[in-house]
Amino acid sequence: MLASDKFHDECGVVAIYAHPEAEKLTYLGLHALQHRGQESAGIVSSNGMMLNVHRAMGLVADIFTEDVLSRLRGTLAIGHTRYSTAGDSALLNAQPIMVQSNKGVTAVAHNGNLVNAQEIRQRLEGQGSIFQTNSDTEVIVHLIALSKEHTLPEAIADALRRVEGAFSLVMISPDRVFAARDPRGFRPLAMGRIPALPGEKQDTVVFASETCAFDLIGATFERDVKPGELVIVGPEGTTSRFYSPAAAQSSCIFEHVYFSRPDSIVFGRSVQESREGLGRQLAREAPAEADVVVPVPDSGVTAAIGYAAESGLPLRFGLIRNHYVGRTFIEPRQTVRDFGVKLKLNPIRSLLEGKRVVLFDDSIVRGTTSRKIVRMIRGAGAKEVHMRVSCPPTISPCFYGVDTPSKRELIAANKSVDEIREFIGADSLAYLSLEGLKRACGDGEKTQYCSACYTGQYPTNWVDVEAIQPAVLLKR
């Protein structure tokens, strides 16, 4: 498997209510959200009476063939594409999770991470509950089934009040779709609408992790599901309630740095605008005496556009990315140095030779990939390499739905900026300041952001203390 020295995307969710091809719109929505998870995908649909499910490992376009979608025909559906942040990468943990309980048959798809899931699970298992997966999402399903509330909406609200952490989720019953966000609003969840087709009685209501999914299916973005809100769409129309009082907002700022697509509106703000702002701000904070700005594709491109525009340096695509690298590859017997990176990226010597290069990326995690890319740029004849990173040093792991290494594996948690510069072999290295990051992303305008991965200050009390200890303490 080709390892990646990046934070891994979390998950993507989609829900469609009242459309004659709900399963196909869900499939298309998941296709637009493929960047959020590439391990597994699933769709649960309803014809108004019963639920049908299909889940598999792999990419959305490979899983959902015409034949599969024909068996999922329905007027409402939910879907999920997954990268595991809690629970193993295996089919048993693929979502949506569908169950039959005293509340009827339901299915749930979840983006985020429940930081108190293990504690709840141990308590429920002690009371006799039997879990089918090791995903934290199944905890929500059990809490709904065990709730003393009599109606499904009340049981969902009761369950959500008992969990702590990050969750944007969609649920389906035979005749309703539900959407909810945690009270702190860690993860995005947008609501949109498709006008009723001729002969149809009501508009189609849609939900998705990012608005880029709406663009593909022809939906108009209406608003975000609010933190602490439960939206119910059913035969009687759309209703909303707040299952929990408002909490201090902690929307994930890394959605704007890296995760979300630039063509999405996330937390009420254009990702493209934020990312270009990151680059412009970094150009003001850390200018470089250089000839060209070269982004690491694809994650460094948008912010590099802002850096180049602000600095007046030309932007050159001096690294070409192979977009067709699979999850496995055959390595030559006589190992080629930096083979994994060369499989993905190749430098254009004519653009780099003799140049002073600003190498631009969105983050440095372990530093191993950055080191190889710097070496590759020098090997193509660059005279100098100045590394610029469009976020602050990442010093702490995330417990809210991002698959991050432990603190001992994060290079910025254990080395100074100059030590990192020396490790990756750059002539200079500069990160964007935390203040600059927040300014570029409009912190305080429409939302307040969680920046725990840059500060180590977590908005919830539930954290894995062992995982956040610096390497120097673990060696004692």
**Measured between alpha carbons, how far is 170 from 225 in angstroms, rounded to an integer?**
11
User: CB-side exposure of 462: number of CA atoms within 13 Å?
Assistant: 14
From the CB of residue 13, how many other CB atoms can be counted at a distance below 10 Å? 34
Q: CA torsion, points 369, 370, 376, 377, in degrees to nearest 10?
A: 160
Contact 306, 278 (CB under 8 A): yes
Is 450 designated active site?
Answer: no
For the record, the structure tokens of 38 come out as 């590439």
Indicate the pairing of strand 356-361 with strand 292-295. Answer: parallel
From the CB of residue 328, how many other CB atoms can be counted at a distance below 10 Å? 7
| Phi/psi of residue 83, nearest 5 degrees | -125, 125
**Measured between alpha carbons, how far is 67 from 115 in angstroms, rounded to an integer?**
39
Q: CA torsion, points 395, 398, 402, 408, in degrees to nearest 10?
A: 50
Length of the chain equals 476
Given the residues 11, 252, 391, 398, the one annotated as active site: 11
For the record, the structure tokens of 4 come out as 């990646």
Indicate the pairing of strand 345-347 with strand 319-321. Answer: antiparallel
For the record, the structure tokens of 355 come out as 């140049």
For the record, the structure tokens of 226 come out as 């609010």
Contact 185, 242 (CB under 8 A): no
From the CB of residue 135, how many other CB atoms can be counted at a distance below 10 Å? 25
Contact 41, 94 (CB under 8 A): yes
**Measured between alpha carbons, how far is 16 from 419 in angstroms, rounded to an integer?**
50
Residues with a catalytic annotation lie at 11
